[in-house]
């Protein structure tokens, strides 16, 4: 049973008043940030937006043959989160994104890992393989291990075990479009000013992927999101609305030191319970510490690559 209550059920008196096609269709014209602004009006509007997010989660989980209530309960008990294209699809629903599998992140605490594995097995999932974080594409992300699970035939789910916080690897991702997560009660976006405008800032601090095959993998991942409508750039000055931003201060600047509790992040609780993850002191920055000059002076090989592609 999910603490704080589950989604509003269709049999509830208030839900009957809210659950009209016209009202739900209206929300599908908005991104998550606009929906949260609407919800700030409180009362029936807040209830409507919460119901919308629960409906979106049920639809997206159903596409992956997963029961939403079961999955959210497992996330709660194991203190884990879902990131990747699934979280982005929740934030920008309806979307061209069609997540093919799930990536679940959990801290390397024995109790949490055991609880997560037990919960996944109770949902009919079986562990089929694993490898250490230093292998393949996971090197440098603070990841200890990756376990692959399979269910419903060929469906796949990955459990990524972080050396520290379950959230830490998310801010080492290749770009801001995927710096989001869904927990048992909350949806989070690290760069809403960019993500909700389909702008995607490249993470230059991911030094481990600056050379060779690592860089090629990152470039391909970024191009994948470009094909899905998220325009990539190595500096937020690339976009007109951020051309004159304050370097190192504005939330959309890669040189600004960020943390999960700052005002630049987007949080919305679809269960009506404040997320304990918001109290995390986790910090990150997108540009390498040894970068010289201001944003207006910054130019990298990846800038030139992107210009050649245009």
Q: Which residues pair with 159 in a beta bridge?
A: 104, 147
Whether 296 shows a pLDDT value over 80: the answer reads no
The predicted model gives 192-220 an average pLDDT of 78
Contact indicator for 112, 159 with CB cutoff of 8 Å = no
Q: Is 25 helix (H, G, I), strand (E, B) or coil?
A: helix
Q: How far apart are CA 242 and CA 238, in angstroms?
A: 7
pTM over 0.75: yes
Of residues 66 and 133, more confidently modeled: 66
Tokens of 34: 């606009």
The predicted model gives 89-117 an average pLDDT of 90
Tokens of 287: 């540009």
144-192 pLDDT per residue, tens: 999 999 999 899 999 999 998 999 999 989 999 999 999 999 999 999 9
The predicted model gives 106-111 an average pLDDT of 96
- What is the reported pLDDT for 28? 82
Q: Give the total residue count for the chain.
A: 310
pLDDT band at 310 (very low <50, low <70, confident <90, very high): low
Count of beta carbons in the 10 Å neighbourhood of residue 133: 20
When mean pLDDT is compared across 43-57, 179-193, 196-210, the lowest value belongs to 196-210
Q: Which residues pair with 200 in a beta bridge?
A: 232
Whether 278 shows a pLDDT value over 90: the answer reads no
Tokens of 289: 């510490």
Contact indicator for 98, 126 with CB cutoff of 8 Å = no
The predicted model gives 102-120 an average pLDDT of 97
């Amino acid at each position: 049973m999910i603490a704080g209550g589950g989604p509003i059920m269709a049999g509830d008196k208030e839900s009957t008043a809210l659950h009209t096609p016209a009202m739900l269709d209206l929300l599908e014209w908005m991104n998550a940030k606009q929906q949260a602004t609407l919800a700030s009006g409180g009362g029936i509007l807040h209830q409507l937006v919460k119901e919308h997010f629960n409906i979106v989660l049920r639809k997206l989980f159903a596409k992956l043959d997963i029961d939403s209530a079961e999955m959210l309960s497992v996330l709660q008990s194991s203190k884990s989160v879902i990131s990747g294209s699934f979280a982005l699809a929740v934030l920008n629903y309806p979307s061209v994104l069609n997540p093919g599998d799930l990536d679940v992140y959990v801290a390397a605490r024995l109790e949490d890992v055991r609880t997560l594995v037990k919960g996944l097995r109770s949902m009919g999932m079986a562990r089929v393989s694993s490898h250490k974080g230093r292998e393949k594409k996971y090197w440098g992300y603070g990841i200890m291990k990756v376990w692959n699970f399979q269910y419903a035939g060929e469906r796949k789910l990955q459990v990524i075990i972080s050396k520290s916080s379950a959230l830490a690897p998310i801010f080492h991702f290749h770009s801001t479009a995927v710096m989001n997560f869904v927990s048992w009660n909350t949806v989070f976006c690290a760069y809403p000013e960019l993500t909700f405008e389909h702008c995607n800032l490249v993470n230059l601090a991911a030094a481990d992927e600056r050379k060779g095959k690592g860089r090629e993998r990152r470039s391909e991942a970024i191009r994948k999101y470009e094909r899905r409508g998220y325009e990539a750039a190595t500096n937020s000055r690339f976009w007109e609305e951020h051309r004159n931003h304050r370097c190192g201060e504005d939330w959309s600047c890669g040189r600004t030191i960020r943390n999960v509790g700052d005002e630049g992040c987007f949080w919305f609780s679809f269960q009506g319970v404040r997320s304990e993850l918001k109290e995390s002191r986790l910090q990150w920055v997108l540009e390498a510490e040894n970068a010289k000059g201001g944003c207006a002076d910054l130019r990298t090989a990846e800038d030139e690559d992107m210009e050649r592609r245009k």
